[in-house]
Amino acid sequence: MGKWVEYIEPFVGQGNIARFSVAHQPIVKEYAQHMGLVDKIDGTLNCGMHTGPGKIVLSLIMNTLCGRSPIYRIEEFFKMRDVPLLFGNGMTAEMFNDDAIGELQEKAGYFVLLTSVPAEKKSSLEILKTYKEQDGIEKNFGFLKDPLVVNDLFLKTPSRIEALGLVLVISLLLWRLMERTMRTKTKEENSTLTGWNNGKTAKPTSFMMVSKFMSVVIAIKNGERSLFTPLNKVQLAYLNALDVNPSIFTEIDLMPDGVRSG
């Protein structure tokens, strides 16, 4: 109880407090930033939309990896989330309503391929062929076929189904990137993380990571954010393996080009 009081005390007696369960959502945002996801999609889909297409795609990915609500309920999903923390100051849940998402789905007639390979080394066609020939892709089909993801597909046109398929593939890339980062870190440091049933593992999964952050809650008062309880040792160890700074849970503007460390 002492630690809880220490973290919530700055807000006591100051009126209404907004309370949000953020879980692992800031981690997903951080890795999307690491990929340059929003900027690359905005640069590819210059649609002149009120809400940038990059942030709409990120909202769909966030929903896929953090909530899995039907697409027509995305706005409702984000009304219960700290939208400015996840998408930046000035952003609201209403910006991800059904009209905004429908407009993007109609216009997103592209195969968006994100890569760190310089253009002078491989052409877009070569990268696409390499992507299509990945031997390990079969093991990822379980993620894409998860009933929680595909059961609620109330889409009327093939273009909208294709757009959702793209969102699922990008979500999978983010999911596997986080997992790969953790496993690379544990291998380099010859260390382990706390896995299922508090056992130690050198091969953590993204599902393991998600389960460790379900209890993370923040409080907001006059724009100031604070954790309800401090991050525990297990959560800090996972953030270290992900190469992510704990400040992602309380600070909005620290969004550099790469994943923060320390």
Cα 250 to Cα 214, 225, 233, distances in angstroms: 16, 5, 18
Q: For residue 205, what pLDDT is reported?
A: 93
* pTM of structure: 0.70
Q: 92 in the Ramachandran plot: left (φ > 0), alpha (ψ -120 to 50) or beta? A: beta
| pLDDT value for 222 | 79
Q: Which residues are 193's β-sheet partners?
A: 201
List the strands of the sheet with 217-221, edge to edge.
18-21, 217-221, 224-227
144 pLDDT tier (thresholds 50, 70, 90): low
Report helix, strand and coil shares of the chain as percent, to nearest 5. 55, 5, 35
Residue 128: C-alpha distances to residues 91, 111, 114, 117 (Å): 34, 9, 10, 12
For residues 259 and 237, give the distance between their C-alpha atoms in angstroms, rounded to a whole number.
16
* CB burial string 84-104: b at 16+ within 10 A, e below: ebbbeeebebebbbeebbbbb
Beta bridge partners of 219: 19, 226
pLDDT of 250 strictly over 70: yes
Which pLDDT score, from 0 to 100, does residue 73 have? 83
Asked if residue 164 lies in contact with residue 105, where contact means CB atoms within 8 angstroms, the answer is yes
* Lowest-confidence segment of 53-57, 120-124, 216-220, 222-226 by average pLDDT: 120-124
Residues contacting 10, CB < 8 A, separation 6+: 221, 224, 226
**CA–CA gap between residue 17 and residue 139 (Å, rounded):** 44
- Our CA angle for 118, 124, 128, nearest 5°, is 115
Average pLDDT score over the chain: 78
Does residue 230 register a pLDDT over 70? yes
- What pLDDT is stored for residue 11 in this prediction? 46
CB atoms within 10 A of CB 220: 18
Residue 173 confidence (pLDDT) above 70? yes
